[in-house]
């Protein structure tokens, strides 16, 4: 597509290195060879060209940027002329278009992760372990930080995984009054053996100096910690304890 003097053109034909463009607007399309040999049957629409230019700026950014589509859209929109804003399609439509361009890289035939998903944005390896039952994401620099923490926090969520996995398990530490996530594990189950496999693979990497591990009240996690870390103090999360108490109060009609 070509924009010229407020008009939109599409390729009509190609012949011996010569490209013929024609006016995009129906119903009366007049052929032209990138010149003003014929008159158009409609007025130019500069605003429409500005909208197309905006879309063309956002599309390539959506493919390579880690920012949300809404942030990309609004960062470009602040430079868009106000008098042309009436030509913009609905915001949701623009953002959906950009989200569709962000295709998830396809896995290989052996179900292994594609190479782009195995590195951080700094080019550091981000895969500690990968098989059909467990994937552990972390980097060497993350382990260096984790080793300095005597108190670990473990958590799991069951709502963000694909159908191939049951949960995402994380290990965190407290750094300058902020909890930071350092290890991410995708598990296919929630039993003691599932957590054992994760912890055993992690402690193979270093001799971590742990004093305590705080978790919620998932039975598989607690049993695994007592088995793998017999000398470490296990603590239960107060927030999750309150949730358990409240659920029991409700279930007994109190």
What pLDDT is recorded for position 37? Answer: 54
pLDDT category at 134 given cuts 50, 70, 90 is very high
Residue-wise pLDDT for 177-216, tens only, equals: 888 999 999 999 999 999 999 999 999 988 788 899 999 9
Same domain, 55 and 149: no
> Where a domain ends, among 77, 101, 125?
101
Global pTM reads 0.57
Q: What is the CATH number of the domain that holds 135?
A: 3.30.420
Total domains in the fold of the chain: 2
CB 4 within 8 Å of CB 23: no
Comparing C-alpha atoms, which of 205, 136, 130, 125 is closest to residue 168?
A: 136
Same domain, 85 and 149: no
Residue-wise pLDDT for 35-65, tens only, equals: 445 565 555 666 777 777 777 777 766 666 6
Residue-wise pLDDT for 61-98, tens only, equals: 666 666 676 777 767 777 777 776 776 767 666 666 65
Same domain, 127 and 82: no
Q: How far apart are CA 50 and CA 167, in angstroms?
A: 45
Same domain, 82 and 149: no
Taking the C-alpha atoms of 113, 97, 34 and 80 in order, what is their torsion angle to the nearest 10 degrees?
Answer: -120
Q: Mean pLDDT score of the chain, rounded to an integer?
A: 79
């Amino acid at each position: 597509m070509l924009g010229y003097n407020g008009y939109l053109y599409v390729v009509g034909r190609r012949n011996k290195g010569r490209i013929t463009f024609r006016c995009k607007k129906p119903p009366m399309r007049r052929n032209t060879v990138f010149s003003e040999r014929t008159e158009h049957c409609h007025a130019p629409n500069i605003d429409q060209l500005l909208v197309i230019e905006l879309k063309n700026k956002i599309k390539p950014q959506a493919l390579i940027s880690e920012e949300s589509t809404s942030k990309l859209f609004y960062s470009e929109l602040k430079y868009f002329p106000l008098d042309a804003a009436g030509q913009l399609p609905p915001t949701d439509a623009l953002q959906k278009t950009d989200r569709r361009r962000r295709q998830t890289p396809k896995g290989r035939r052996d179900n292994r992760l594609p190479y782009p998903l195995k590195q951080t944005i700094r080019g550091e390896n981000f895969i500690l372990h990968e098989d059909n039952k467990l994937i552990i994401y972390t980097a060497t620099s993350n382990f260096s930080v984790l080793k300095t923490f005597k108190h670990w926090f473990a958590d799991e969520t069951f709502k963000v995984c694909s159908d191939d996995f049951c949960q995402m398990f994380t290990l965190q530490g407290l750094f300058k009054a902020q909890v930071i996530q350092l290890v991410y594990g995708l598990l296919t189950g929630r039993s003691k053996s599932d957590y054992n496999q994760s912890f055993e693979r992690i402690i193979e990497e270093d001799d971590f100096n742990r004093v305590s591990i705080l978790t919620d009240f998932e039975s598989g996690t607690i049993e695994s910690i007592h088995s793998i870390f017999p000398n470490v103090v296990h603590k239960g999360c107060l927030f999750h304890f309150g949730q358990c108490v409240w659920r029991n109060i409700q279930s007994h009609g109190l």
